[in-house]
């Protein structure tokens, strides 16, 4: 659960789950740690896939459901490539760097492909978040992820100095909208909250400079989206999609085969503290937000879930878990839902799995504020919170899962 007064939201990206008639068969595999070292159970962390899909990188979060001391540690779950379906791997804590982001939660970590990272190779952009001691943050950091595996030297964090500064926030989303083959990256930041309210603004971070140089030598600029069609959500997740003029929806993929045209947002908690079923769509070229029809009773009002696009089905979007309502007693969700679109004004949904509350079910139990990331070999899920079961923090998680469809 968040600190008192903190609302939650879920941002989802739509697509069309394999226009196929057959119901997809989701398969969960739990990562098996082969060492005694592992990160503490936590919520509100940020995650991105390791370069090449070899595992998951996790930063920060909080190991207490009422968070007054957020974490600033960096962990990698590195999969043994010879383990096959067993998903054997090792958790490795990366050495602390002299220059690194402060501890925080409800921040974002967005992968930037090598083609858009100059001489740095693949990178990840860490943006904003909150800390009980320093308040809401607006800083931007880059972390090279090529070859990052938890062995060797400390990670080489670089703090950027964009102008103007992003207004401080946490629980926002940051989505790559430039396409994987672009020379310079562009990221859309939407919503979040500050100390006063849920935010309804959106900003685009762009870079310029010498393409052969490293991103730390580029000029970075925040540009505010002038359109006010987005009404504000917090703690959401987003993915870029490509909607073809014919009406078919194809999700933009990291191989650059389809340059994204839209970002879509669904559900979450609004400024009135209500979980919403509204869907918002951002037209990247026009710089405009519009409202889509609600996802309906299957998805329902929820916040704090995880959303992914599906690499094997470019028309797809999956949503896992979250919570319905912001009270401690509100229902925790562990269902898996597919969102579909034909590029029109309606969003269709299909429930692929119901919620489970049993640790022996072979898939993640219901939870909120977990972290997710897309990878070359599947969709990663880590951590989260499943409520109070007699003690303050006895239902925080540090398990890691890989979902394939």
How many domains does the chain contain in total? 1
Q: Is the peptide bond before 164 cis (omega within 30 degrees of 0)?
A: yes
| Residue for token pair 């010879």 | 82
Would 392 be classed as within a structural domain? no
Q: State pLDDT tens for residues 104-130.
A: 999 999 988 888 887 778 889 999 999
| Residues 280-288, mean pLDDT to the nearest whole number | 89
pLDDT band at 296 (very low <50, low <70, confident <90, very high): low
> So what's the pLDDT on residue 10?
38
Identify which of 287, 153, 146, 268 has the alpha carbon closest to the alpha carbon of residue 224. 287
**Region for residue 152 given its phi and psi (left: phi exceeds 0; alpha: psi -120 to 50; beta: otherwise):** left
Query: Taking the complete model, does pTM exceed 0.75, yes or no?
Result: yes
User: Which three-class secondary structure state does DSSP give residue 217?
Assistant: helix
Would 335 be classed as within a structural domain? yes
Would 391 be classed as within a structural domain? no
Would 7 be classed as within a structural domain? no
pLDDT band at 247 (very low <50, low <70, confident <90, very high): very low
The mean-pLDDT minimum among 21-30, 173-182, 271-280, 374-383 falls in 21-30
Q: What is the dihedral of CA 157, 160, 166, 172, to 10 degrees?
A: -30
Would 6 be classed as within a structural domain? no
Q: Indicate whether 16 pLDDT > 60.
A: no
Range of the domain at 298: 28-385+397-404
For 118, list phi and psi in degrees, rounded to 5: 60, -135
* Sign of the torsion angle spanned by Cα atoms 296, 276, 355, 405: positive
Q: How many Å apart are CA 366 and CA 364, to the nearest integer?
A: 7
Sheet harboring 27-30: ordered strands across? 27-30, 396-404, 378-385, 371-375
Q: Indicate whether 5 pLDDT > 50.
A: no
Q: CATH number for the domain including 76? A: 2.120.10.80
Would 17 be classed as within a structural domain? no
Identify which of 69, 67, 71, 77 has the alpha carbon closest to the alpha carbon of residue 59. 71
Q: How many Å apart are CA 145 and CA 180, to the nearest integer?
A: 16
Would 224 be classed as within a structural domain? yes
Distances, alpha carbon 270 to alpha carbons 192, 198, 281, in Å: 10, 7, 16
Would 340 be classed as within a structural domain? yes
């Amino acid at each position: 659960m968040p600190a008192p007064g903190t609302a939650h939201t879920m941002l989802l990206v739509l697509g069309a789950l394999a226009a196929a008639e057959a119901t997809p068969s989701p398969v969960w595999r739990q990562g098996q740690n082969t060492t005694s070292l592992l990160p503490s159970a936590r919520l509100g962390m940020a995650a991105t896939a390791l370069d090449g899909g070899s595992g998951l990188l996790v930063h920060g979060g909080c190991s207490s459901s009422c968070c007054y001391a957020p974490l600033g540690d960096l962990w990698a779950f590195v999969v043994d490539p010879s383990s096959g379906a067993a998903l054997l791997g090792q958790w490795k804590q990366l050495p602390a760097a002299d220059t690194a982001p402060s501890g925080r939660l409800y921040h974002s970590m967005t992968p930037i492909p090598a083609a858009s990272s100059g001489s740095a190779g693949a990178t990840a952009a860490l943006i904003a978040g909150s800390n009980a001691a320093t308040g809401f943050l607006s800083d931007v950091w880059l972390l090279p992820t090529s070859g990052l595996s938890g062995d060797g030297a400390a990670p080489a964090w670089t703090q950027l100095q964009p102008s103007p500064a992003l207004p401080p926030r946490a629980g926002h989303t940051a989505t790559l909208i430039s396409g994987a083959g672009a020379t310079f990256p562009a990221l859309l930041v939407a919503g979040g909250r500050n100390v006063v309210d849920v935010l309804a603004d959106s900003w685009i971070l762009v870079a310029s400079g010498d393409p052969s140089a490293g991103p730390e030598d580029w000029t970075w600029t925040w540009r505010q989206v002038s359109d006010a069609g987005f009404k504000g959500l917090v703690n959401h997740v987003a993915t870029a999609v490509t909607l073809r003029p014919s009406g078919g929806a194809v999700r933009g993929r990291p191989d650059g085969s389809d340059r994204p045209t839209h970002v879509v947002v669904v559900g979450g908690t609004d400024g009135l503290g209500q979980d919403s079923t509204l869907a918002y769509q951002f037209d990247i070229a026009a710089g405009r937000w519009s409202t889509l029809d609600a996802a309906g009773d299957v998805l329902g009002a929820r916040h704090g879930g995880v959303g992914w696009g599906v690499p094997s089905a470019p028309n797809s979007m999956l949503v896992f878990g979250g919570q319905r309502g912001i009270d401690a007693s509100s229902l925790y969700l562990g269902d898996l839902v597919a969102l579909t679109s034909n590029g029109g004004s309606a969003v269709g949904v299909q429930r692929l799995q119901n919620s489970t509350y049993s640790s022996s079910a072979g898939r993640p139990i219901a939870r909120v504020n977990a972290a997710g990331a897309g990878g070359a070999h599947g969709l990663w899920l880590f951590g989260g919170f499943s409520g109070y079961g007699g003690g303050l923090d006895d239902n925080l998680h540090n398990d890691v899962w890989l979902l394939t469809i």
